[in-house]
Amino acid sequence: MSYKYPVGVLGAGAWGTALAEHLAGACGHNVLLWSYDKKAAADIKKKRKNSIFLPGYPLSEKIDVTTTPEDVAKNCKVILYASPVPHCAEMAAMLAPILKEDQTVVISSKGFRESDGAILTDVWQGMMPHFHNLAVLSGPTFAHEVAGHKPALATLAASRKEVLKEVDKLFNSSLMRLYFTHDLIGVQVGAAMKNVIAIGAGISDGLGMGENFKAGVLCRGIVEMMRYSHSLGGERLTLSGLSGVGDLMLSSHEGSRNYRFGRYLGEGMTAKEAFEKVGSTVEGANTAAILTVQGASKGIDMGVVMAVNGVIHGDIDASRTFRLLLERPRVVEFDIDEDLI
């Protein structure tokens, strides 16, 4: 059943286009998709495809496209933000004078603000202090699979039950099962940090350190995700769900550009060479730098994150860095057992 209003999607990259196709093609809604790229917009409008950012997937006739983001704010009751993280504050500031209290913004991008490590809901809230209908959609969802109408599960976070219900009604297809939580912080931390840990998994494989060690890197990375989330007021348990462990599982193999970037580093490429070979945004690289600064300022032990950041910035050789993880002082596995040593 189609929704009364068109559903807005801000961002016509791979993920934004996939979301638009799911909402239109699988759920039957009219969708208004904003694209900053005029060539991509023309491609979608005339040829019903996005050859630039998501080639190979036909797009529903129910998707309309605009190159003016204000159009989305003026015409859509529920808006999904799927643009790059660095543009988040600018977009929030631009739309703040237009958005009304009964509208909802769903953050579906992953990362932190570079200047202070803020989660993205806080970025939007800072620009719109009186706007409270914010939600976060995250989980193990490759864009090409969602665009190809393959089934997926994801987490939807919001502080208000009515927001959860409204957004859930939009995802009315059996192809996308949503699970609900009020933990906006934990979901966003998992969404952003899994990219860094996925780079670590790639470095481990590039170095040929074996499956045992990679499994250890992933597990210790999850602990670091829990620690960081807890320091911001999030719940540790959230990181064991779809937006934490689930998304990390998806991102820790060849299908993930963060993983491939890490593997190239482990194989001996410089960061510049690895970026060029991946050929698209590697979110975890910038996130690693942000987390290293924020973790140090908060006194949080994040050895995997720091090791990944060190390798990316060439501070230390990849092989030596990851072997140092094995030589760190031995500690309890979980912080709750600190009285054991």
3-state DSSP call for residue 212? helix
Contact 235, 186 (CB under 8 A): yes
**Amino acid occupying residue 339:** D
H or E element at residue 274: helix 271-278
Tokens representing 314 are 């060439």
Tokens representing 224 are 């670091």
d(CA 169, CA 251): 28
3-state DSSP call for residue 174? coil
CA dihedral 166, 167, 172, 178 (to 10 degrees): -120
Tokens representing 140 are 């193990």
For the chain, how are helix, strand and coil distributed in percent, rounded to 5? 55, 10, 35
3-state DSSP call for residue 136? strand
Per the annotation, the verdict on 194 as an active-site residue is yes
d(CA 252, CA 304): 14
d(CA 16, CA 124): 18
CA distances from 289 to 117, 292, 294, 307 (A): 10, 5, 9, 11
3-state DSSP call for residue 99? coil
- Residue (of 209, 229, 195) closest to 309 by Cα position: 195
H or E element at residue 36: none
d(CA 26, CA 185): 29
H or E element at residue 183: none
Choosing from 62, 110, 194, 214, the catalytic residue is: 194
- Just list the catalytic residues: 194
